[in-house]
């Protein structure tokens, strides 16, 4: 809260010790729901693929490579030009682009009558002609598909909803359309785009040309797996110049991996021997993964002059492609590239601390007097917990919601104590389990190895009592709040977030907060 610095300056000069002891007065009381670990500063999560891409981009730039964008749509004929005899096998792994054909919609007398029945009016000769012209324009691609409904509504002078009904009931050919494939493919290798780019620029720029592009590729895999996706990112580069050799590939690969702190990698001859590479230059780069062992992260080689000649390129070219997802797997020690890329489709993994942060209170006071009341209840109950009953102790006196009240912690029954034995249990998360445990030798390992939620049973009950007393005070009433045995979290005034409960049930863990609490708190109006 704000305070008067002059007041504290003068007080410190006259009585420093008193000024120092008054320091806590400037700090607002904190409700249980706003205490750590529920209250935290957290950095936003970066997606591992995006983060790895960003780091690779900076690494390439630091090595003197210019950033480029290469074509994504590759005509089938270019695949034959680049891959030669193996093009047919390559095309088996690519996605062809397709689309719906535009039907030639005929309008006979029967359809005109149907349309007029839907519109509730006659089209007339002029209206029929405008309708035919619009449908013909759509067929010739002069009207886009997403504009057809609007254009028809405009020429027919009706609402869009009637046009939608008309297209569904009068023109079934729209529903019967079947996609047709073109001869254009989605890029399966960055190489396909590099050949097109090299053909356009190799003799128009100073040599050597060093460029990189980090972008998405598409490959029609038979099945996705822990290390393989149908769409992935390739961090690819080319070095084109008269004196470029396979040693450029080794140097670039080593520099990129060292930028990520990797020293444990090796080069292996690639047995696949793609026809767009010069024989015996195609090389795989492997890095060690903690689970999968040696994982291929990159491939490089020298483009074949036969393939380069198809695009009129007359200098040697080294090409390197590095799999962003596979490198990210190593960086983040992931076991499954599918889970790394699309974590939303997998059960998230939370630490005990993460789960503890999701445990809070169901009810808590909302006013400063209510928060102070909860703290006072907790202090009095702590001091007198073992007092023999019947007994009653005043915990707090003050004004709450405009009502002056007295608050007591008490126990009416004879031969008992003010509080039950479980009142000092604390909430811990240990190995994914939510447990309410006392500070005893038996539960020492839970308290040592687990993550504290920062909530004791007494604190939870004190906040419950203060919240209900606060509510009663706002209505000008007193109230008695009693908590006996705890069997489930709500009995202890605990609120467990959905993600925590889902994690516990998904992993067959347990929640055990059972225990005798037996705390009674009563408020009475002053006077």
- Structure tokens given for 151: 């254009």
In sequence order, the β-bridge partners of residue 359 are 496
At 176 the pLDDT is: 81
Burial 76-115 (b: 16+ CB within 10 A, else e): eebbbbbbbebbeebbeebbeeeeeebeebeeeeebbeeb
**Three-class SS of residue 140?**
coil
At 520 the pLDDT is: 96
At 160 the pLDDT is: 82
- Structure tokens given for 474: 């706002």
For the stretch 41-55, pLDDT in tens is: 778 889 999 999 999
Check if the beta carbon of residue 420 is closer than 8 Å to that of residue 518.
yes
In sequence order, the β-bridge partners of residue 483 are 519
At 527 the pLDDT is: 65
d(CA 378, CA 371): 11
For the stretch 31-89, pLDDT in tens is: 777 777 877 777 888 999 999 999 999 999 999 999 999 999 999 999 999 988 888 88
Residues of the chain below pLDDT 50: none
- The H-or-E segment that residue 214 falls in is strand 209-218
DSSP state letters, 282-319:
-EEEEEEETTTEEEEEEEEEEBPHHHHHTTT--S-EEE
Sorted by sequence, the CB contacts under 8 Å of residue 84 that are 6+ apart come out as 275, 276, 306, 307
* Residue 482: burial class (beta carbons within 10 Å; 0-12, 13-18, 19+): middle
At 25 the pLDDT is: 81
What strand order describes the sheet that includes 180-186? 73-75, 180-186, 96-99
Burial 437-458 (b: 16+ CB within 10 A, else e): bbeeeebeebbeebbbbbbbbb
At 447 the pLDDT is: 95
Interhelix angle for 160-169 vs 148-156, to 10°?
110
Q: How many helices (H) and strands (E) does the chain have?
A: 19, 20
At 107 the pLDDT is: 82
- Can you say how many angstroms the Cα of residue 380 is from the centroid of all Cα atoms in its chain? 45
d(CA 145, CA 140): 11
Q: Please name which of 239, 233, 211, 244 lies closest in space to residue 298, comparing C-alpha atoms.
A: 233
- Structure tokens given for 79: 């695949």
In sequence order, the β-bridge partners of residue 322 are 235, 298
Q: Please name which of 58, 520, 48, 15 lies closest in space to residue 324, comparing C-alpha atoms.
A: 48
* Residue 67: burial class (beta carbons within 10 Å; 0-12, 13-18, 19+): exposed
d(CA 76, CA 185): 6
Check if the beta carbon of residue 235 is closer than 8 Å to that of residue 322.
yes
Check if the beta carbon of residue 423 is closer than 8 Å to that of residue 458.
yes
Q: Within 10 A of 423 (CB to CB), how many other CB atoms are there?
A: 27
């Amino acid at each position: 809260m704000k305070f008067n610095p002059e007041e504290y300056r003068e007080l410190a000069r006259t009585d420093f010790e008193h000024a120092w002891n008054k320091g806590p007065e400037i700090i607002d009381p904190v409700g249980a729901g706003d205490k750590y670990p529920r209250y935290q500063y957290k950095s936003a999560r970066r997606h591992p693929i995006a983060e790895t891409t960003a780091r690779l981009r900076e690494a390439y730039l630091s090595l003197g490579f210019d950033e480029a964008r290469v074509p994504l749509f590759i005509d089938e004929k270019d695949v034959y030009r680049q891959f030669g005899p193996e093009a047919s096998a390559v095309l088996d792994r690519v996605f062809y682009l397709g689309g719906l054909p535009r039907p030639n919609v005929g309008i006979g007398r029967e359809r005109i009558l149907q349309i007029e029945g839907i519109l509730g009016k006659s089209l007339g000769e002029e209206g029929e002609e405008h309708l035919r012209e619009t449908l013909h324009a759509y067929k010739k691609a002069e009207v886009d598909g997403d504009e057809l409904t609007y254009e028809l509504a405009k020429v027919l002078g009706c609402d869009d909803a009637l046009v939608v009904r008309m297209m569904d009931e009068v023109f079934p050919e729209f529903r019967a359309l079947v996609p047709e494939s073109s001869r254009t493919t989605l890029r399966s290798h960055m190489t396909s785009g590099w050949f097109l780019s090299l053909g356009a620029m190799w003799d128009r720029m100073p040599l050597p040309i060093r460029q990189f592009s980090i972008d998405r590729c598409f490959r029609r895999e038979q099945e996705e797996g822990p290390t393989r996706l149908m769409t992935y990112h390739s961090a690819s580069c080319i070095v084109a110049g008269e004196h470029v050799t396979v040693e450029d590939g080794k140097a670039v690969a080593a520099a990129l991996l060292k930028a990520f702190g990797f020293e444990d990698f090796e080069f292996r001859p690639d047995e696949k021997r793609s026809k767009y590479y010069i024989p015996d230059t195609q090389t795989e780069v492997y890095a060690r993964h903690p689970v999968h062992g040696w994982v291929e992260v990159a491939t490089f080689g020298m483009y074949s002059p036969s393939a380069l000649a198809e695009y009129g390129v007359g200098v040697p070219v080294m090409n390197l492609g590095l799999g962003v997802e596979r490198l990210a797997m190593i960086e983040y020690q992931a076991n499954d590239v599918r889970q790394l890329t699309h974590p939303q489709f997998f059960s998230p993994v939370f630490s005990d601390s993460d789960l503890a942060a999701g445990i809070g209170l169901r009810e808590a006071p909302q006013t400063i007097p209510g928060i102070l009341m909860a703290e006072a209840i907790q202090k009095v109950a702590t001091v007198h917990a073992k007092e023999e009953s019947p007994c009653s102790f005043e915990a707090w006196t003050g004004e709450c919601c405009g009502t002056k009240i007295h608050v007591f912690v008490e126990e009416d029954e004879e031969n008992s104590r003010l509080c039950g034995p479980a009142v000092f249990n604390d909430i811990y998360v240990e190995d994914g389990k939510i447990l309410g445990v006392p500070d005893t030798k038996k539960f020492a390992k839970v308290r040592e190895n687990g993550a504290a939620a920062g909530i004791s049973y007494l604190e939870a009950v004190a906040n419950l009592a203060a919240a209900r007393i606060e509510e009663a005070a706002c209505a000008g009433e007193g109230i008695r709040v009693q908590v006996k045995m705890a069997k489930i979290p709500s009995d202890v005034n605990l609120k467990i977030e959905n993600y925590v409960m889902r994690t516990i049930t998904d992993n067959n863990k347990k929640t055990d907060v059972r225990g005798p609490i037996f705390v009674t708190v009563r408020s009475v109006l002053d006077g």
